[in-house]
Structures are given as structure tokens and as C-alpha cells.
Amino acid sequence: MKKITLLFLAVLIGFGLLACKETTTTAATTQPTTQTTTGTTTGTTTHTTTGTTTTTAPETVERIVIHYFNDAVTDYADFALWIWGTGHDGSQYSFEAVDYFGAYLEIDLTSGTFSGWEGLAFIIKPADSWTGQTADFVINYAEVDNGEINVYYIAGDAGFTYVYEVPAIQNVYIHLNMTMRVIELLNVKAWGQNALGTWMDDYYVDFITEDAYGAYAIIPLGVSMRVNLGFAIIPGTNWAPIAPQVDSVDLTKANPNGDVHLYIVAGEATKTYGVPAPDIALIDIDVAYIPNITIGQGGESEIRS
């Protein structure tokens, strides 16, 4: 009887130990494995997965480019930027160049005047006045893309934007560095496809007037519904281009009015969008060498210098 009692107690103790071991294991495997990160995460991105927490540093801003378009402006030198930043007083800066969109200033944050600047903000204003200035605009550094932030401002619109949405194309202006006196029978032969990919009939466009660069022709894509455009400048219908043909006009170079301005140089492959290449000579007739011809009563002609 004593042996039976001892055996029974041993079995009970064994079951008890087994039960305690299973309870302890279950408790250990049901503990939460998601780690909590404390402290500030300003300027970083935190990704939390089961048992793992990783932190990705923000992309470094190296350049900020401010773009300005004003259809009423003939000279962007009449406008400027007033720029300031955290720990930096405001100063006036001129736009450095003009492209197809309008005037722009590129700010280098890696060296020079703006090296390491934070909290950069600006307004656009007349160069010699505070009348007509824009509202303050503070750059959001999170808008960086491949180290660069682009900010666009179109005069008369609601405000600033970080993305330039190319408008519907209205006209393509083809500029040539020749005066209307020289251009004679030259015209533009154009071709292209519609939105369905169908090739439309070729057609000819005349040069209609000129500006300081030279004569220009206008191709109204908004009317023709072409979605791509190629052209050559030729005399009449004779295929003798005075410059290499343009197989496809880059329609993404439209200004906010929906117009593309393409500058061609006679006899060269040079072509630029928005503004002409520097130091391009205007081809014209030297009227000083045109002789003065006088017809006498007997029909004789006399050439005078």
C-alpha cells in the first residue's frame, strides 16, 4: 500500500512539472515582438516590422531652382528675388537666365553663398520696388527629387507649385535668323501625326513677320490637332533645307501659354527652345550696297553709288 501511494504521488508530480513547462513556453512565445522607438523622428522616416525597426535618412537637398513666368514681361531683368533663411537676413538676387518656361535662378546649397542654408524662403518682386511683390514662400525640403527642388510661379495664378504641368499645346513658333527681306521664297514644310497615330497631310506655313532674332512662322497645333510635329525650312516646294530638318519638336518645352518657341540657325544644326543661342548673327541685305539707278529720257540708265 505504501508503494502504491508513493507511485501515485510521483505520477502527480510529473504531470505538474509538465504542465508548468508548457505554460512557461506559451507565455514566452506570445510576448509582442514589435519594438517601440522613442524620441523625435523629425527629418527621418521610420519603418517598423515584426521584430525589426529601421530608419531611413532624408534625401539631401543640393539645389533649389526658382522659375518665374510673366507673359506681360519683356525683360526679366526688371524683376528679382528677395531670399532669406534660418539665421540669414534677406538680400536681393537677380534671375540668372531665361529658358522656355521663363526666368530662373539656381541656388546651390553645397557651396558658395547658400551653402548649408536651411529654412530658405523668398518672394518675387520688381527689381527697384516693393510694390507688386508676391506673398512669402517657404521651401518645403521634403519636395526634393534627385537632390533638386524646382519651384514654379506663374504671374496671375493662385501661387507657387513644385510641379510644372505642361499645358495643351497651342502654337509652335519657328524662328530663323534671317530678315523678311532675305527670306524670299522660304517657308516651313511641316508633317506629323494626330492623337490616333495617323499621319496627317504635309502642309506649308509662311514666315509672317520678324523680331530681333529674325523672321518667324507660326504652326497652330491647337487647330491642326497634331500631337507630334516635324518640319524643314525649304525654298518653295524644292527639297533643299537651309538647316537640318527637325524630326520631332519637343512639345514638353511649352511655356505656360501653351506655346513652343524654337530657334533655328541657317546653315547649322543649332536649335534651342525658349531663347536663342548666344551670339547668333542676323542675316540681312546690306542696303548700303544697293545701287541707285537713274533712267534718262532716252532710256539710258546710269548707276550712281
Closest CA to 142 of 227, 47, 58: 58
Which amino acid is present at 200? M
Residues 204-223, buried b or exposed e (16+ Cβ, 10 A)?
A: ebebeebeebbbbbbbebee
Tell whether the torsion through CA atoms of 12, 14, 20 and 23 is positive or negative: negative
3-state secondary structure the chain: CHHHHHHHHHHHHHHHHHHHHHHHHHHHHCCCCCCCCCCCCCCCEEEEECCEEEEECCCCCCEEEEEEECCCCCCHHHEEEEEEECCEEEEEEECCEECCCCEEEEEECCCHHHCCCCCCEEEEEECCCCCCCCCCEECCHHHCECCEEEEEEECCCCCEECCCCCCCCCEEEEEECECHHHHCCEEEEEECEECCCCECCCEEEECCEECCCCEEEEECHHHHCECCCEEEEEECCCCCCCCCCECCCCHHHCCCCCEEEEEECCCCCCEEECCCCCCCCCECCCHHHCCEEEECCCCCEEEEC
CA 269 to CA 244: how far, in whole Å? Answer: 6
Report the phi/psi class of residue 116: left, alpha or beta, with left for phi > 0 and alpha for psi in -120 to 50.
Answer: left
CA 65 to CA 282: how far, in whole Å? Answer: 32
Q: What pLDDT is attached to residue 184?
A: 83
Closest CA to 293 of 304, 283, 285: 304
> Distance between alpha carbon 243 and the CA centroid of its chain, in Å?
27
Q: What pLDDT is attached to residue 45?
A: 42
pLDDT of the chain, 305 residues: tens digit per residue: 444 443 343 444 444 433 444 444 333 333 333 333 333 333 444 433 344 444 445 679 999 999 999 988 889 999 999 999 999 999 999 999 999 999 999 999 999 999 999 999 999 999 999 999 999 999 999 999 999 999 999 998 778 999 999 888 899 999 999 999 999 889 999 999 887 888 888 999 999 999 999 999 999 987 666 788 999 999 999 999 999 999 999 999 999 999 999 999 999 999 999 999 999 999 998 766 555 555 555 555 455 55
Predicted TM-score (pTM) of this structure: 0.71
